[in-house]
Amino acid sequence: MKIKVGIIGATGYAGAELVRILVSHPQVQLVALTTQSYEGKLFYDVYPHLYKYVKQECRELDLPAIVSESDIIFVALPHGHAIPVAQEALRQGKKFIDLGADFRINRREVYEQWYKVEHTAPELLEQAVYGLPEIHRNKIRSASLVGNPGCYPTSVILGLAPLLAYGLVDTDTVVADCKSGVSGAGRGLSLGAHFAEVNENFRAYNVGMHRHTPEIEQELGNLAGESMVISFTPHLTPMNRGILSTVYAKLNQEMTSEQVRSIYEEYYHSEYFVRLLPPGMLPQTKAVAGSNHCDVVPVVDPRTGRVIVISAIDNLIKGAAGQAVQNMNLMYDLPETMGLDRPGLYP
Amino acid sequence: MKIKVGIIGATGYAGAELVRILVSHPQVQLVALTTQSYEGKLFYDVYPHLYKYVKQECRELDLPAIVSESDIIFVALPHGHAIPVAQEALRQGKKFIDLGADFRINRREVYEQWYKVEHTAPELLEQAVYGLPEIHRNKIRSASLVGNPGCYPTSVILGLAPLLAYGLVDTDTVVADCKSGVSGAGRGLSLGAHFAEVNENFRAYNVGMHRHTPEIEQELGNLAGESMVISFTPHLTPMNRGILSTVYAKLNQEMTSEQVRSIYEEYYHSEYFVRLLPPGMLPQTKAVAGSNHCDVVPVVDPRTGRVIVISAIDNLIKGAAGQAVQNMNLMYDLPETMGLDRPGLYP
Amino acid sequence: MKIKVGIIGATGYAGAELVRILVSHPQVQLVALTTQSYEGKLFYDVYPHLYKYVKQECRELDLPAIVSESDIIFVALPHGHAIPVAQEALRQGKKFIDLGADFRINRREVYEQWYKVEHTAPELLEQAVYGLPEIHRNKIRSASLVGNPGCYPTSVILGLAPLLAYGLVDTDTVVADCKSGVSGAGRGLSLGAHFAEVNENFRAYNVGMHRHTPEIEQELGNLAGESMVISFTPHLTPMNRGILSTVYAKLNQEMTSEQVRSIYEEYYHSEYFVRLLPPGMLPQTKAVAGSNHCDVVPVVDPRTGRVIVISAIDNLIKGAAGQAVQNMNLMYDLPETMGLDRPGLYP
Amino acid sequence: MKIKVGIIGATGYAGAELVRILVSHPQVQLVALTTQSYEGKLFYDVYPHLYKYVKQECRELDLPAIVSESDIIFVALPHGHAIPVAQEALRQGKKFIDLGADFRINRREVYEQWYKVEHTAPELLEQAVYGLPEIHRNKIRSASLVGNPGCYPTSVILGLAPLLAYGLVDTDTVVADCKSGVSGAGRGLSLGAHFAEVNENFRAYNVGMHRHTPEIEQELGNLAGESMVISFTPHLTPMNRGILSTVYAKLNQEMTSEQVRSIYEEYYHSEYFVRLLPPGMLPQTKAVAGSNHCDVVPVVDPRTGRVIVISAIDNLIKGAAGQAVQNMNLMYDLPETMGLDRPGLYP
């Protein structure tokens, strides 16, 4: 019997990407797609690529009913809105994955400081699992409540994990300079996402104060075994999909690129979705666009004693919907790659 | 037992798209990828999105050996180069699909006039089938030699077929104004495909003399039952994938958009890959990018007595590799949609 | 003494382009920039490229005061909104140029039919001049009230004018297939101008019903000396600036490309801003982007008996603000090219 | 009498941009445009935006003759090729500006180590001046031989200069993460600049080994008064024009953003082309595209003790041709802004 899936906030880009992936997932039946903006419209009117694939209409959010019809509920809404859904899901004994930020930060006060709102269900934070399978696979398997990582954090954490796990870098020297396509900002209208403003433009934003910072610091700190403070600067690049992160850190000792690479090889040896590229190749967003892969390459610069890690993901897939499906597969003991095992689209 | 596939010219965009589609095709085993430019290199070095999906290296073209190892051979080479391959394939009793132009034109003199070269195997033209399944499905099923349609012709012919089949338009008034993404020009280097020249630029090219013209006229003429001469103007638009065709013709009699639409509904009723969009929607390239669909909508303009048909395809899929796989499925009595039944990527 | 200029609606793209051009115009002093959206903000906060060039703030629209301070008033607002401004300008004896549609259509009923609103000052239509200098230069010199042409009409009319003036084509066969960059849709937010929706997308819109149609038909009809009905289809292309129009018409008699070209040469011989490109070149939007030029080339297709004219403009300059300044120069007996005599930016 | 200018390598992007700027420069007469690729062609055939602006044809490089006809010679060629031109120019007592790398590095051995070629005229390095006017204005005024800075170095050096000049940062902690449009790679064909490879792609390249590194380190070191080693990573972003640099450094002491800003205000107070943006604004490439400005903003992140400086330029103007003209103006005692005092093009 197929898993009955409800998606709350299905008409944003992350939600629609969930729908696209799940209509081809052999073990899933979509039972409810809710939206605030397009109630009563056919889903394909909102997303024409899915014409003939999705026959359902967009429903309003009748929370108890939606949860009751579903085995698992995905929420793709702005922060704050997932909390009541999680509560209802747990009440009814259903599984729950939040693509937003409400269940990513372990410590309530950190969440409240960065998001400037009260967390109204702090008691749930303890059972919430940070849904980065390559780091927390076993906890995810048995979790009912998963906080799916942000797009930037996915690329930065997977890029640095081996170095921190092995204590190879000075944790005080980490700089993460990240570049994202525009779909990361969602489908909501804003001057900052207006075509003529973005096209032929490159800019930084939220310098020193992006909300993905505490999530990155929490996970990197866990890996390093000490609390960490990093510089993280997000940038907007004129393309639809993809994040490329360039992460800098001082090595604690002299190492060659080959030595660092062999540590990555060992660390990611059995990971299907993390691809350590062979020597001579560097990650680029086009090589992962349309797939659930994270491509990664560490480079040692002997002149400066720094290691520079380049990582690339599709922000809507490994950075959002694909990773959420990967988590669902783990939660249901399905092959982790089910519905996600296709290469990207190039060019 | 799986179908053994050889791809000759695998490192162009159409060839690489064939590889991408076929690595996920449940009934196919890739046995040989040949190239002129990257001999001896690993295929993923040339196309990094396929790292971990394709382990083979690019081989040189040892024609008899490649044909002998394969059950079916796809050729994605410039015109002229498919002829010797076709001859060898037929000699060895193998199936053959040409993604180039050598077997699309029934009449040798038309081919030679537009392509400015001699056709060195005109005797094969008789058994070659024009591989547009929606028009020639039955012939394709039993064909050994298929000339896969050009990208522009696919969009124009599917756009006009119902009107011509029913004799509804004045065949002397057809204007096809077509706009293509840049991948249609292939991966070969040229100033016309240099990023800074194409980006933020829109231009027409080959006005009145593009080589897809005779192919369009042949198929439209067959549908109409009379020889046809049309205006066809290709344009380059700053994007990677997609063709949108805007086709104009004078109606022979007054008709409403609804009347014309109902004829399209009937004509394409059982076609999976042609999507007549519901009223209120118009085709756009993004809605088909990454899929094998052709979206189509006819609009009647009562002021001018013209019908304007808009059609959209992904030029590398329904306009090339996807259609070739659709043909292969027919030739092997497989479900026509096998390996091709996923929606596109949006945005 | 410099000309005092007021711009009403200065914070849309056409308005901002007027500001950019006029800050470098040697005979102009900007006295007032009004806006509905950014009242009280510094203009450079809204348009950062003009930081250090424009010190003024955005003012609210106090109509009598603004008109009184100005010698000439430009209006860049949605249709309907220019009428009261025109009335006040004329009352105070000031000159007036409308970049919108309120004074382009001579016949009130045509305006009302296409724009679905009442024209509240039809008596002004008689003295309004259609501001296409290459066609109406003398009338513009002495006009007080100019309706600046739409972007699409500028490209189509300049493309066809010689053919119609000389009666060379069948007026019933004209098809204008036009492609525009996204800035033509303005800075107002809409899903249709959202980056991720436009990028990697090409689409037609308003098929058979775009409001620039009657304006094109009026001017082409005047040139031809008979009323005309044409097919005009606008398309959106993923770039910021530029319109390329491909216009088709049946020739009344056999002519060669050279014969048609010589007629264009004669017709546009003394025009600075219309560039008939030499043989071997075709118009492309990048070659005119950032300039006030309209590049044009006619091609005869002897197979079909059609002439295909390609024309290209920068929609914000020759299609809006540049042409408005060209009109102002004429109205003040300044050299027509003043402030406009620089080549575009390439690449 | 006008300055007679010869441009050697006029058909690359930097050369063509020189031509575009200089045709509008009131004190310049273009006397010779040379090229290796388009000898004998009219310049506008190679760059259609300049049709009607430049009537000359592309000449072959007859060095003594070209130098003899010119008062000043600009060279826009790959490194190594400027040296013989410089020698001939000095022999004939002409002024000389190299847009390439041959005269930027003071120390021959550093040049040879990074560029992997012998410097064949090391004796000229002593009289060569690094042409960054905001740093070396006085030396440039009296120079005959100017090495025009690289595009990345211009953005990084102008971004950091005040901090280093005042000794405010730990020189061992500097990370420069830079993102460039594709025109920086020139007009030469390569797969890395093929439209479909670049569009919808973001990637790093030459990690830890880009040749602009020694030039940046030399100038930063001079400003700091001690030798410096930095991390510099260039990236390619899918757009034509613009560089945005994000530069990180640890502050030597606690400072606020306001304190750092006031130092920038003082340092750049009288600079026309460096715009310290007002609080609330951040540099973006679109705000400088088409202009000679460098926009800059420093931000202090109190959490990490780092200052993050964002700077933006148009790589072909302030990063190449515009800066070269700025240098020429200085060398001829003309107003520094002559021919360069127009705002950019937005959007």
CB C100 within 8 A of CB C215: no
Instruction: Provide the 3-class DSSP secondary structure of residue A272.
Output: coil
Residue of A152, A171, A231 to mutate for D, most D C-beta atoms under 10 A: A231
Neighbours of chain C (3+ CB pairs under 8 A): A, B, D
When pLDDT is cut at 50, 70 and 90, the band that residue A36 belongs to is: confident
CB-CB under 8 Å, C189 with A194: yes
Residue ranges per structural domain of chain B: 3-127, 151-315
CB-CB under 8 Å, C282 with B207: yes
A90: nearest Cα among A146, A36, A39: A146
Q: What is the pLDDT of residues A41-79, one digit of tens each?
A: 999 999 999 999 999 999 999 999 999 999 999 999 999
Cα–Cα distance for residue pair A243/A289, rounded to 1 Å: 9
**Amino acid in position B211:** R
Instruction: Provide the 3-class DSSP secondary structure of residue A327.
Output: helix
CB-CB under 8 Å, D287 with C49: yes
Neighbours of chain B (3+ CB pairs under 8 A): A, C, D
Q: List the catalytic residues of A.
A: 151
E strands of chain C, at which residues?
3-8, 28-34, 72-75, 95-98, 129-130, 145-147, 175-180, 203-204, 231-236, 243-250, 274-276, 294-301, 306-313
CB B49 within 8 A of CB B20: yes
Bridge partners, B35 (sequence order): none
How far A209 CA lies from chain C's nearest CA (Å)?
22
Neighbours of chain A (3+ CB pairs under 8 A): B, C, D
Instruction: Go through chain B and tell me how many residues it has.
Output: 347
Question: Which chain A residues contact residue B280 at CB under 8 A?
Answer: 45
- The predicted pLDDT at position C201 comes to 98
Q: What is the pLDDT of residues B139-175, one digit of tens each?
A: 999 999 999 999 999 999 999 999 999 999 999 999 9
Q: Which of D197, D202, D205 lies nearest to residue A237, judging by beta carbons? A: D202
CB-CB under 8 Å, B194 with D199: no
CB A169 within 8 A of CB A161: no
Cα–Cα distance for residue pair C23/D287, rounded to 1 Å: 16
How far D116 CA lies from chain C's nearest CA (Å)?
31
Question: Which chain A residues contact residue D237 at CB under 8 A?
Answer: 179, 202, 237-238
Residue with tokens 């592309």: D58
Residue with tokens 């990257």: B38
Question: Which chain B residues contact residue A51 at CB under 8 A?
Answer: 275, 277-278, 281, 287, 295
Bridge partners, B30 (sequence order): B5
CB-CB under 8 Å, D201 with A284: yes
CB-CB under 8 Å, C199 with A182: yes
Residue of A23, A45, A51 to mutate for B, most B C-beta atoms under 10 A: A51
Alpha helix (H) ranges present in chain D? 13-23, 43-46, 63-69, 82-91, 108-115, 133-141, 151-165, 195-198, 213-224, 257-267, 322-331
Neighbours of C26 (CB within 10 A): 8
How far A130 CA lies from chain C's nearest CA (Å)?
29
Question: Which chain C residues contact residue D49 at CB under 8 A?
Answer: 286-291, 343-346
Omega within 30 of 0 (cis) for the link into A347: yes
Question: Which chain D residues contact residue C277 at CB under 8 A?
Answer: 48, 51
Measured in whole angstroms, the distance separating CA A42 from the mean position of its chain's CA atoms is 27
The C294-301 sheet, strands edge to edge: C203-204, C231-236, C175-180, C243-250, C306-313, C294-301, C274-276
CB-CB under 8 Å, A196 with C13: yes
Angle at D114 between CA D112 and CA D120, to 5 degrees: 25
A132: nearest Cα among A343, A342, A336: A336
Crossing angle between the packed helical segments A13-23 and A321-331, to the nearest 10 degrees: 50
CB A38 within 8 A of CB A58: yes
CB A66 within 8 A of CB A92: no
C239: nearest Cα among C190, C295, C296, C286: C286
How far C91 CA lies from chain D's nearest CA (Å)?
35
CB-CB under 8 Å, D241 with A238: no
Cα–Cα distance for residue pair D146/D150, rounded to 1 Å: 12
Please give the C-alpha separations between residue A339 and each of A21, A47, A328, A334, B181, in angstroms, as whole numbers: 7, 20, 11, 10, 29
CB D201 within 8 A of CB B240: no
Closest residue in B to C309 (Cα–Cα): B207
CB D278 within 8 A of CB D139: no
Q: What is the pLDDT of residues A104-137, one digit of tens each?
A: 999 999 999 999 999 999 999 999 999 999 999 9
Instruction: Provide the 3-class DSSP secondary structure of residue D313.
Output: strand
Neighbours of chain D (3+ CB pairs under 8 A): A, B, C
Q: Assign 3-state DSSP to chain D and report helix, strand, coil percentages, each to 5.
A: 35, 20, 45
From the number of C-beta atoms within 10 Å of its C-beta (0-12, 13-18, 19+), residue B1 rates as exposed
CB-CB under 8 Å, D200 with B240: yes
Closest residue in D to A305 (Cα–Cα): D231
CB-CB under 8 Å, B195 with D187: no
Cα–Cα distance for residue pair B294/B296, rounded to 1 Å: 6
Closest residue in A to C185 (Cα–Cα): A196
The D129-130 sheet, strands edge to edge: D28-34, D3-8, D72-75, D95-98, D145-147, D129-130
Closest residue in C to B183 (Cα–Cα): C200
| Lookup: tokens for C159 | 């493309």
3-state DSSP of B284-324: EHHHCCCCCCEEEEEEEECCCCEEEEEEEECCCHHHHHHHH
Complex ipTM over 0.90: yes
What percent of chain B is modeled with pLDDT above 90?
99
3-state DSSP of A60-94: CCCHHHHHHHCCEEEECCCCCCHHHHHHHHHHCCC
CB A28 within 8 A of CB A89: no
CB-CB under 8 Å, D284 with A201: yes
What percent of chain C is modeled with pLDDT above 90?
99
Rounded to the nearest 10 degrees, how much is the dihedral formed by the CA atoms of D337, D339, D341, D346? -140
Q: Which of D201, D231, D239 lies nearest to residue A285, judging by beta carbons? A: D201
User: Residue C37 above 90 pLDDT?
Assistant: no
Bridge partners, B34 (sequence order): B8, B59
CATH superfamily of C151-315: Dihydrodipicolinate Reductase; domain 2 (3.30.360.10)
Q: Which of C231, C235, C282 lies nearest to residue B248, judging by beta carbons? A: C231
Average pLDDT, chain A: 97
**347 residues of chain D, pLDDT tens digit each:** 899 999 999 999 999 999 999 999 999 999 999 998 899 999 999 999 999 999 999 999 999 999 999 999 999 999 999 999 999 999 999 999 999 999 999 999 999 999 999 999 999 999 999 999 999 999 999 999 999 999 999 999 999 999 999 999 999 999 999 999 999 999 999 999 999 999 999 999 999 999 999 999 999 999 999 999 999 999 999 999 999 999 999 999 999 999 999 999 999 999 999 999 999 999 999 999 999 999 999 999 999 999 999 999 999 999 999 999 999 999 999 999 999 999 999 99
Cα–Cα distance for residue pair C153/C160, rounded to 1 Å: 10
What percent of chain A is modeled with pLDDT above 90?
99
**Amino acid in position C221:** G
- The predicted pLDDT at position D36 comes to 86
Q: What is the pLDDT of residues A192-213, one digit of tens each?
A: 999 999 999 999 999 999 999 9
Q: Which of A181, A195, A200 lies nearest to residue C194, judging by beta carbons? A: A195
Q: What is the pLDDT of residues D87-111, one digit of tens each?
A: 999 999 999 999 999 999 999 999 9
Omega within 30 of 0 (cis) for the link into B347: yes
- The predicted pLDDT at position B36 comes to 86
Q: What is the pLDDT of residues A130-176, one digit of tens each?
A: 999 999 999 999 999 999 999 999 999 999 999 999 999 999 999 99
Residues 6+ apart with CB under 8 A from B164: B171, B220, B223, B224
Cα–Cα distance for residue pair D38/D46, rounded to 1 Å: 8
- The predicted pLDDT at position A37 comes to 86
Q: What is the pLDDT of residues C237-294, one digit of tens each?
A: 999 999 999 999 999 999 999 999 999 999 999 999 999 999 999 999 999 999 999 9
What's the average model confidence in pLDDT over C107-133? 97
Question: Which chain D residues contact residue C344 at CB under 8 A?
Answer: 49
Q: Terminus-to-terminus CA distance in chain A, angstroms?
A: 38
Cα–Cα distance for residue pair C176/C159, rounded to 1 Å: 10
- The predicted pLDDT at position D267 comes to 98
Residues 6+ apart with CB under 8 A from C174: C160, C220, C228, C230, C231, C247, C248, C249
Residues 6+ apart with CB under 8 A from B37: B11
- The predicted pLDDT at position D37 comes to 86
Question: Which chain B residues contact residue D200 at CB under 8 A?
Answer: 240
Instruction: Provide the 3-class DSSP secondary structure of residue A57.
Output: strand
Specify the CATH number of the domain C3-127.
3.40.50.720
User: Residue C36 above 90 pLDDT?
Assistant: no
CB-CB under 8 Å, B195 with D240: yes
Average pLDDT, chain C: 97
Bridge partners, C5 (sequence order): C30, C72
Q: What is the pLDDT of residues A94-104, one digit of tens each?
A: 999 999 999 99
Q: List the catalytic residues of B.
A: 151
Question: Which chain A residues contact residue B55 at CB under 8 A?
Answer: none
CB-CB under 8 Å, A187 with C194: yes
Residue with tokens 């001896």: B40
E strands of C106-242, at which residues?
129-130, 145-147, 175-180, 203-204, 231-236
Please give the C-alpha separations between residue D205 and each of A284, B315, D232, in angstroms, as whole numbers: 10, 30, 11
User: Residue B37 above 90 pLDDT?
Assistant: no
Question: Which chain C residues contact residue D50 at CB under 8 A?
Answer: 343, 346
